[in-house]
Amino acid sequence: MGRTVIAMPSVTLGASVPMSTPPAASRRTALDAVHRALGATMTDFAGWDMPLRYGSERDEHKAVRTAAGLFDLSHMGEITVTGTQAGQALDHALVGHVSALAVGRARYTMICAEDGGILDDLIVYRLGDEEFMVVANASNAQTVLDAVTARAAGFDAAVRDDRDAYALLAVQGPNSPAILKSLTDADLDGLKYYAGLPGTVAGVSALIARTGYTGEDGFELFVAPADAEALWSALTEAGKAYDLVPCGLSCRDTLRLEAGMPLYGHELTTALTPFDAGLGRVVKFDKPGDFVGREALAAAAEKAAATPPRKLVGLVAEGRRVPRAGYQVVADGTVIGEVTSGAPSPTLGKPIAMAYVDAAHAEPGTKGVAVDIRGAHEPYEVVALPFYKRAR
C-alpha cells in the first residue's frame, strides 16, 4: 500500500487557571507579542505564559456561543509517531484501537498507567499510512512523550517530540465555518467532526482539523510557528464581519464545563481509571495485541459493572453561590461526593458544577443534594451532562 500523508500536522485542553505572575522560565508562544499588544491578562499555565482573558471573559464566552472566538492553543503537546509499526506501537501504548483509524481521521483516547490510572486524555490524528500525531495536554506532554517513547521500544516506530514544531490556533463558534471559508478553498463542508485535512489558510500551510473544546462547531489550525502571526491577523480581519473576538483560557474553561467536557487534573487523574470517569468506552479490549494497563482496566471494568462507583454528574445551583473544585457534595448531612469543576455559567445564568457523587444520588432530578460552600449547604439540582448542547 502506498504511503498517503496529510501534509501538515491537532486538541485537547482547557484550563481552570488562577491568574498568577509567570516565573521567569515560562515559555511564550509565537503569538505572545500579539496577546500583549491586545492588552491580554497573562497567566502561567503548565509552564507557558498564556492569555487568560482580553477583556470580559463573560463576553468572550458569549461570543463563542453566538458568533466566534479565536484562541491561541500553542501550549498543547504534539508528539509524532512514524514507522511501519507506528499504529501497533500506539495500540500498545494507549487504550484505544489507534491502528484502525483511517488516514485523515482523529480519535479521542487515553494513556493509562499499569494500574489503570489515567496519565492523560489525548487526541490522535492519523496523518498518513505510517504517521500519527498524538496531542497531549500541556501539563502532561513530557509524561506522555516519555511513556510513548518507552512503550514503542521493540516496534518499528520512531517517536518525535514536535512541541516546538507547531503553533495551534482555534476558531470556534457558529460563525467559524464562514470565517474560514473566506480564507481557504479547502472542502470544509466535507470535513467531518474529528477529521483533518491539509490546506492553505490565508496563504499559510495548515492541518485544518474539525475539533475543539468548547461545545461549538469549530476548527483547529496547526501551522508552523513562523506563520502564526500572519494567520492570526488574517483570521482577525476576516472575522470582523462575523463578530469574531480573541478569547483566553478562562472562557475556554467555562465553555468546556457547560459542554460537560472533562479537564485533566479535575475530572481525570491518575487516581481514576476511565471506568471510574464514566469513559470506559475509550478502552478497546478487542483490539489485537496487549496494551499497557489491560489487566488492571479489565478488573476496573468488572468492578464498575458489579458495583457502580461514584458517577460524574452535573449540578445546577438554586442560589447564586459558586462551587469550586474540592468542595464536598452532601445529602442529609452525609458527604456523598466532591466537586471537580465549578463556575458561573454565562449561558444558563447560574452557577454549575461537575462532581463525582455516589451512584444512589446520581440520577438526574435527585432531590436533597447540596454543596458545602464554606460551611453553608447550598442546594443544587442533579442534572445530566452536558449542561449545554448546540443546535445541529
Where does 202-242 show beta strands of DSSP type E? 204-209, 218-223
At 367-388, the pLDDT tens digits run 899 999 999 999 999 999 999 9
With residue 131 as reference, give the H or E element that holds it. Answer: strand 131-136
Assigned superfamily of 1-307: Probable tRNA modification gtpase trme; domain 1 (3.30.1360.120)
Among the four given CATH numbers 2.40.30.110, 3.30.420.40, 2.70.98.40, 3.30.830.10, the one describing domain 310-383: 2.40.30.110
Cis peptide before 351 (omega within 30 of 0): no
Where does 247-375 show beta strands of DSSP type E? 311-317, 328-331, 334-345, 350-357, 369-373
Q: What is the pLDDT of residue 11?
A: 31
| Same fold flag, 1-307 and 310-383 | no
At 160-184, the pLDDT tens digits run 999 999 999 999 999 999 999 999 9
Q: What is the pLDDT of residue 24?
A: 55
Q: Is the dihedral of CA 380, 386, 390, 392 positive or negative?
A: negative
Query: Are 259 and 214 in contact, with CB atoms under 8 Å apart?
Result: yes
Q: Mind listing the pLDDT tens digit of every residue in the chain (392 residues)? A: 333 333 333 333 233 343 444 455 689 999 999 999 999 999 999 999 999 999 999 999 999 999 999 999 999 999 999 999 999 999 999 999 999 999 999 999 999 999 999 999 999 999 999 999 999 999 999 999 999 999 999 999 999 999 999 999 999 999 999 999 999 999 999 999 999 999 999 999 999 999 999 999 999 999 999 999 999 999 999 999 999 999 999 999 999 999 999 999 999 999 999 999 999 999 999 999 999 999 999 999 999 999 888 999 999 999 999 999 999 999 999 999 999 999 999 999 999 999 999 999 999 999 899 999 999 999 999 999 999 999 88
| CA 359/CA 357 separation, integer angstroms | 6
pTM above 0.85, yes or no: yes
Q: What ranges do the domains of the chain cover? A: 1-307, 310-383
At 346-373, the pLDDT tens digits run 999 999 999 999 999 999 999 899 999 9
Q: What is the pLDDT of residue 15?
A: 35
